[in-house]
Amino acid sequence: MAVVTMTEYGALPAASLTAADGAQITASLFGAHLLSWKTADGKERLFVSSQTPLDGSKAIRGGVPVIFPQFNVRGPGLRHGFARVSTWRLTGKGGDGGSSYMEFSLNQNDLSAEHAQAWPYAFELTLRFTLHGDALEMDYTVHNSGAQDFPFGVALHTYYDVGNLDATSISGLQHQQYTDHHQQTRTQEYPALHFTEKHDRLYQSTPSLTLNTADATLRLEQQGFSEWVVWNPGQDDAKALVDLADEEYLRFVCIEPARVDQQPLAAGASWTGKHTIAV
């Protein structure tokens, strides 16, 4: 029997789902931000910085930040959008013998006056987190509930706790084209991506890839998105981030399904992206 309980994470109101097998996820209402995913063996799969504020004063560093309506600065509004710094509602929960879920929603009525003024559209976001054994599925839906088209970009900026960056690699990207942080476009010829320096790469979407760590192999799949973003700040950039301890870059890798360029969503239309992570 799956159980959802209201709790706190730092100073943030949060909801925690415990599946029948003992697997557990916790997400704050602030940002519908997934902050913890423990598989049934009790192992934490997500990374959250020890230095990030957990009081709603700024976006959280770690877990799964929810990006909308723009990725980074690819749009005229707030960097990475307002969804990750808005307070969502817990609007659904349930499950059967094999899976259990909780669902969060955000619409224009939930926004601060500042964000509502900057984004004058009617919309509904829903984000459902579902546990199936040693797999986590995220279903992200954007609905245009207004009378005019609006442009949007999205991402699920997932921080994986890899334990040891030196023992970490990503496979499944060989022969894939990517753009790096120097805005140079290249093709990855080698079979596995290892982390020996800063990485900020935008790959064209593949249906799946594999994250290999010292003690686990995770298969990542996506549908509906158009890119994978792979990021680790490296030593120098990590020191410049006030919400990340200097050595914490050695503990995580970000791999995120994304649609980085804003594209129009017609009035009354919906878009859905699915991201599945299986250990």
Sheet with 24-28, strands from edge to edge, namely 3-9, 12-18, 24-28, 33-38
Q: Are 138 and 274 in contact (CB under 8 A)?
A: yes
CA distance 199 to 211: 15
110: its two tokens: 């939930």
In this structure, the dihedral spanned by the alpha carbons of residues 253, 236, 227 and 251, taken in order and rounded to 10 degrees, is 0
Q: Are 254 and 161 in contact (CB under 8 A)?
A: no
Query: What is the structure's pLDDT at 246?
Result: 96
- What do you get for the CA distance between the two ends of the chain, in Å? 22
Query: What is the structure's pLDDT at 127?
Result: 98
CA distance 33 to 121: 23
Residue type present at position 163: G
- Name the nearest CA neighbour of 98 among 59, 134, 74: 134
Please name the residue that has the structure tokens 């910085």.
49
**pTM (predicted TM-score):** 0.97
Query: What is the structure's pLDDT at 96?
Result: 77
Query: What is the structure's pLDDT at 97?
Result: 72
Taking the domains of the chain in order of start, what are their residue ranges?
3-278
Q: What is the mean pLDDT of each run of 10 residues along the chain (279 residues)?
A: 93 97 97 98 98 97 98 94 98 90 98 96 98 97 98 98 97 96 94 95 94 96 97 97 97 98 98 98
Query: What is the structure's pLDDT at 236?
Result: 96
- Name the nearest CA neighbour of 206 among 195, 219, 196: 219
- Sign of the CA dihedral running 84, 87, 91, 97: positive
Query: Is 2.40.37.10 the CATH number for 3-278?
Result: no
DSSP state of 121: -
